[in-house]
Amino acid sequence: MSEPVFRSFVSEALEQRLQDGIQHALSLGADGAEAFVTVSRGRKAKVQNGALEDLSTSKRGGLGVRVLRDGRTGIATSSNLSRDHFEELFQQAWDLSALGDQDPWLSQAEPSGQDDLPSRYDARIETLDAEQRIAKAQTLEAEARKASSKVSAVREAAWADGAGATLLLTQRGVRTFDLGSSCSASIELAVQEGEDRQAAWHWDVGRHPESLDLAAIGREAALKGERKLNPKALPSGKYPVMLHPEVAVDLLGLVAGMLSAEAVLKQRSLFTGKLGERIASPLLTLIDDGRLPTGLGSEPWDGEGLPTRRNVLLEQGVLKTYLHTLKTAAEMGCQPTASAGRGTGSNPGVTTFNLFPEAGNQSPEALYRLAEGGVLITEIMGLHTVNPVSGDLSVGASGLRIRDGVPCEAVDRLTFAGNLRDFLTRIVALGNDLHWYGSQAGLTILLEEMALGGA
């Protein structure tokens, strides 16, 4: 950690005032007291059809304090980090703790672990001035227009960068911190051919400005738009189905959410009671690794102060673990997985850090040939409507028909109606094209023939 940079976000004086607040809570009779602070600085430039639309800078900070009292918790928040002391905030959390329900599974971490990860902060994030940010947004738009003459309008091309820090303190001596930087570029555009007009969007994120390829982002956005032009109707029937890596990200993220022990304990997961059982194709191994050296989601500690770790969620299709906080691990009688995320206004909850499937050994081109006559799904709409208990779903989709081993004409207004298990158990091949989208990765997935409803 770069101490001077960290201290530009969280000063020693602020940290000491938080420690004083923790001691005040203990003097009131609290069993435990915690402070979680987050501070970030950001800059953004947006252009529209070549003209500057917005240029902004922001600084945000927030503090959440939690008091534990006889198996109950109270939480109080503040956005004012410059106040002289925080005793009143801890007093408020103390008062609220008397109103909560008693929970026998509440617990706190002991101090452990160290920050042995590569730095998540890159000083190059601070080198850009306003003109350079505007130029990057304009370059992104220009690259998209250069990639396709069919780009008819750019609704927004944006560049954003910033840095932030977090700090967790508890009365047990836990002091966990993080400092990170990020930059992102995104573009939303329209393409047109004849009377047909389609919208498309693409983005990427990295640690520093040189990590982003603006030409590749613009080119992919334009290609996405072109692929959607003049869609054809697909007769209802059964087809080999390929999932684009972006679709795989959404699907696997949905699965990971159902592997939250919180959801399992509430009987709101398709995978309740399935530990040790095969719930997916033997080809699928799904991992969440909070310590991945190059991962954009990597952190040395989770939101409760436990050292992060590599968790294998599915191994060759077999469910190996749920994702736990300290509380859910205690309730289910197992070891925590260091999978807690934290905000300033709520109790710790399950999160993922770097979620990815193990890559297969076949190229997307080889999978296209295997899926002859099928459909490459490039978008799925409505995954959030999947019933988390039964797994039943009815979602819309669009994509490309596969002919002669290559994706060809666009097809849209497709419908999947079935069960989430169909996506998991009917996997017959995985691509070797693992691609990261922020802190989650996807790859091309080939499924057995599935029923698709056409327009």
Taking only the tens place, the pLDDT of each residue in 10-45 is 999 999 999 999 999 999 999 999 999 999 999 999
CA distance 354 to 340: 13
For 208-336, strand residue ranges (E) read: 237-243, 286-289, 310-315, 318-319
| Nearest by Cα to 445 from 369, 359, 385 | 359
According to DSSP, residue 346 is labeled S
239-279 pLDDT per residue, tens: 999 999 999 999 999 999 999 999 999 999 999 999 999 99
Instruction: Tell me what pLDDT residue 1 has.
Output: 54
pTM score > 0.85 for this model? yes
**Token pair for 258:** 């159902």
Domains annotated for the chain, with CATH where assigned, are 3-221 (3.30.2290.10), 231-455 (no CATH)
Q: Beginning with the edge strand found earlier in the chain, give each strand of the sheet holding 72-78 in spatial order.
A: 72-78, 51-69, 32-48, 151-170, 175-193, 196-206
Q: Are 331 and 338 in contact (CB under 8 A)?
A: no
Q: Which residues of the chain have pLDDT under 50?
A: none
Q: Are 315 and 305 in contact (CB under 8 A)?
A: no
Q: Are 298 and 306 in contact (CB under 8 A)?
A: no
To 5 degrees, how large is the angle CA 339–CA 58–CA 128? 95
Q: Beginning with the edge strand found earlier in the chain, give each strand of the sheet holding 355-357 in spatial order.
A: 318-319, 310-315, 286-289, 355-357, 440-442, 435-437
